[in-house]
């Protein structure tokens, strides 16, 4: 029996604002779409949090035995710089600034995106489609919407008619907005002459002669509007109605609202059953922003070359730090918070590596079965990773007590403890034990063990000057010696 038949997952659905029991459209299968990055600059840490959150969700569903098709797009065209201007898009603008071909920009930042996510140990999605690879599909959807009368053409551009759509549908249901309020609160904007209403959004934008990224269409040369690609690609790979759509909170409005409108206008169906939104990452309590300098790139964090943090932090520590907060909460990144997480992370990893050496006995003081189910309960409750981690630390405490001979565990319980711990820490949370992952660890282990022997000899001879020198210099190199009842072990930080 697959695990998903034993565990019931609840998710916070942004569409209803409630926590709901998750039931996929087809038993055992899940279709999940997550809005990917716009590849016009290096991916920053805030972006990473969203993708890490959904990676954890993807991993948990897979762990439960679901067959998941996870689609995460690459936006390589179509985001308008400013829809009041002449229709230049972000990719094209950057290309001109750097004297590059648009696709050269796309390539560079796509590679950066993949490299970075790989460092954070993200699983690749099932399909990673690009906007430029789905121009035809987008044009077809525009035709559908025009045919249903929910869009209009003006000077080679096509706009979605929000007011008309709202008369028969509910525009704003995801973000809790009402069109009347939005019209009443419209800001003074520059000329919006082509649009009937400021709330209308572009489905297709006419390309000016100097515009490099352009495709032919029934309305002339141009490029697709900024919400359309996700509707085209999610429909193509997951169907007109699918299980989960995710993305950052900041995409809820207008992006996801417009996706719902486009899908409902073109095929009459509400596209998504469960909308999941990952919350923002702030830095020292403030929004990350390049213009104010309150911003950090993953590479700066891994190298320690930045003005914000006191030291370098490896990807797994950063991932662990993120997993200590719920994905729907705003998380604030700071040096002290990362330092605290790093210690906790090492404690967790060391407890895991201690499991295999644990002595076993005829009885267990630790109810491993109940503990295992508690771990599932935490994840079933809207992927509550902070609670899961709290349970993992309960196990850490027990492992250390057993190691010290203060409690006992049976062979069978030890195996289950090891399996559950392994599943949740590595498969579900996606953490990596970075001290064991480097290739020189065997050599290193031999060298350090030799030094430990020398130190112990010195200690036996009461030559504490030598023994302390070995200990202190190893500490300075990031190698910590641990004197226990059964000899000395070490860990590398």
Partner RNA sequence: GGCAUCGUGGCCGAGUGGCUAGGCACAGCUCUGCAAAAGCUUGUACAGCGGUUCGAAUCCGCUCGAUGCCUCCA
Window 150 to 189, contacts with RNA (CB under 7 A)? 175-177, 181-182, 185, 187
Stretch that binds RNA, among 23-31, 58-66, 275-283, 432-440 (CB under 7 A): 275-283
265 binds RNA, rule: CB under 7 A: no
Task: Please state the closest distance from residue 147 (CB atom) to RNA, in A.
Answer: 25
CA dihedral 408, 410, 416, 420 (to 10 degrees): 0
Minimum distance from CB of 316 to RNA (Å)?
A: 14
As a residue count, the chain comes to: 493
Q: Provide the token pair at 67.
A: 């067959």
Contact residue for RNA among 24, 31, 222, 344 (CB under 7 A): 344
Report, in Å, the least distance between residue 331 CB and RNA: 5
- Three-class SS state of 348: helix
Nearer to RNA, 42 or 65 (CB): 42
Q: Which residues contact 268 (CB under 8 A, 6 or more apart)?
A: none
Q: Which position among 287, 302, 444, 492 is part of the footprint of RNA (CB under 7 A)?
A: 287
If the CB atoms of residues 147 and 289 are measured against RNA, the closer one turns out to be 289
**Based on CB atoms, which residue is closest to RNA, 1 or 188?**
188
Nearer to RNA, 65 or 250 (CB): 250
DSSP state of 295: -
Candidate residues 285, 359, 405, 478; the one interacting with RNA per rule CB under 7 A: 285
**SS3 assignment, position 266:** helix
Min dist CB 53 to RNA, Å, is: 9
d(CA 485, CA 453): 15
**Residue 99 token pair:** 């004297």
Question: Segment 88-117, which members bind RNA (CB under 7 A)?
Answer: 90
The CB-of-272 to RNA minimum distance in angstroms stands at 15
- 18-21/10-13 β-pairing: antiparallel
Among 134, 245, 403, 414, binds RNA (CB under 7 A): 403
Residue 10 or 169 with smaller CB distance to RNA: 10
Question: CB of 152 within 8 A of CB of 159?
Answer: yes
**Contact (Cβ atoms closer than 8 angstroms) between residue 420 and residue 398:** no
**CA distance linking residue 491 with residue 493, whole number of Å:** 6
Transcribe 137-192 into DSSP letters.
Answer: HHHHHHHHHHHTTSEEEETTEEEE-HHHHHHHS-TTTTTT--HHHHHHT----S--
Helix locations, 10-123, DSSP H: 45-63, 90-98, 102-119
Q: List residues bridging with 247 in a β-sheet.
A: 277
- Residue 139 or 458: the one with the smaller Cβ distance to RNA is 458
- The 188-207 site mask, x for binding RNA (CB under 7 A), equals ----------x---------
Residues 295-334 that bind RNA (CB under 7 A): 324-326, 329-332, 334
Q: Which is nearer to RNA, 271 or 344 (CB)?
A: 344
Q: Which residues contact 149 (CB under 8 A, 6 or more apart)?
A: 161, 164
Nearest to 258 by CA among 234, 287, 294, 290: 234
d(CA 255, CA 259): 6
Answer for the pair 43, 112: CB distance below 8 angstroms, yes or no. Answer: yes
- Smaller CB separation from RNA, 65 or 466: 466
CA distance 182 to 254: 12
Task: Count the site residues for RNA by CB under 7 A.
Answer: 87
Q: What residues between 220 and 259 interact with RNA by CB under 7 A?
A: 226, 247-255
Which one of the spans 117-125, 363-371, 382-390, 423-431 is the region binding RNA (CB under 7 A)? 382-390
Beta carbon of residue 429, minimum distance to RNA (angstroms, whole number): 13
Element (H, E) at 492: strand 487-492
Q: Does 37 bind RNA (CB under 7 A)?
A: yes
Told to check if 337 binds RNA by CB under 7 A, we report yes
Residues of this chain, 45-64, that bind RNA according to CB under 7 A = 46-47, 49-50
CB of 112 to RNA, least distance (A): 13
- Whose Cβ is closer to RNA: residue 25's or residue 376's? 376
Helix (H, G, I), strand (E, B) or coil at 345: helix
The DSSP code for 6 is T
Choose between 269 and 461: whose C-beta lies nearer to RNA. 461
Residue (142 or 322) nearer to RNA, CB = 322
Q: Which of residues 416-475 bind RNA (CB under 7 A)?
A: 459, 464, 467-468, 471
Determine how β-strand 242-248 pairs with β-strand 222-224: unpaired
For RNA, give the closer residue by CB, 99 or 185: 185
**Span of 72-80, 163-171, 303-311, 439-447 interacting with RNA by CB under 7 A:** 72-80
The minimum distance between CB 26 and RNA, in angstroms, equals 27
């Amino acid at each position: 029996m697959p695990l998903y038949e034993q565990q019931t997952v609840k998710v916070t659905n942004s569409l209803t604002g409630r926590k709901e029991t998750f039931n996929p459209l087809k038993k055992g299968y899940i279709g999940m779409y997550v809005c990917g990055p716009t590849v016009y600059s290096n991916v920053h840490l805030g972006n990473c949090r969203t993708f890490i959150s959904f990676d954890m969700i993807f991993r948990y569903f897979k762990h439960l035995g679901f067959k998941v098709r996870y689609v995460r797009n690459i936006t390589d065209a179509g985001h308008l710089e400013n829809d009041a201007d002449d229709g230049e898009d972000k990719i094209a603008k950057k290309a001109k600034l750097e004297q590059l071909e648009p696709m050269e920009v796309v390539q560079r930042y796509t590679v950066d995106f993949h490299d970075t996510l790989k460092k954070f140990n993200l699983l690749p999605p099932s399909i990673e489609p690009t906007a430029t690879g789905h121009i035809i599909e987008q044009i077809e959807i525009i035709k559908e919407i025009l045919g249903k009368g929910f869009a209009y053409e003006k000077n080679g551009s096509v706009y979605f008619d929000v007011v008309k759509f709202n008369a028969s549908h509910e525009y704003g249901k995801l973000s809790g907005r009402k069109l009347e309020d939005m019209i009443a609160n419209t800001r003074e904007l520059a000329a919006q002459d082509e649009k009937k209403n400021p709330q209308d959004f572009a489905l297709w934008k006419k390309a000016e002669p100097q515009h490099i990224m352009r495709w032919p269409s029934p309305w002339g040369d141009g490029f697709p509007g900024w919400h359309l690609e996700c509707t085209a690609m999610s429909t193509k790979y997951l169907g007109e109605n699918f299980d989960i759509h995710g993305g950052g909170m900041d995409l809820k409005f207008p992006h996801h609202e417009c996706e719902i409108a486009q899908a409902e206008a073109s095929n009459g169906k509400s596209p998504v059953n469960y909308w999941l939104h990952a919350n923002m990452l702030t830095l020292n309590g403030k929004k990350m922003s390049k213009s104010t300098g309150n911003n950090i790139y993953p590479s700066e964090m891994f190298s320690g070359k930045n003005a914000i943090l006191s030291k370098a932090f490896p990807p797994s520590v950063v991932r662990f730090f993120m997993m200590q907060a719920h994905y729907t909460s705003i998380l604030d990144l700071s040096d002290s918070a990362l330092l605290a997480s790093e210690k906790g992370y090492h404690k967790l990893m060391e407890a895991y590596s201690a499991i295999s050496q644990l002595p076993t006995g005829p009885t267990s003081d630790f109810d491993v079965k109940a503990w295992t189910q508690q771990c599932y309960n935490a994840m079933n409750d809207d992927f509550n990773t902070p609670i899961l981690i709290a349970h993992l630390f309960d196990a850490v405490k027990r492992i250390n007590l057993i190691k010290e001979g203060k409690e006992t565990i049976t062979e069978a319980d030890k195996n289950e403890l090891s399996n559950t711990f392994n599943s949740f820490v590595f498969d579900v949370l996606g953490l990596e034990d970075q001290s064991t992952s480097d290739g020189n660890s065997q050599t290193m282990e031999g060298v350090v063990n030799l030094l430990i022997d020398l130190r112990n000899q010195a200690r036996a001879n009461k030559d504490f000057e030598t023994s302390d020198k070995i200990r202190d210099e190893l500490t300075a190199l990031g190698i910590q010696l641990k004197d226990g009842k059964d000899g000395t072990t070490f860990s590398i930080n």
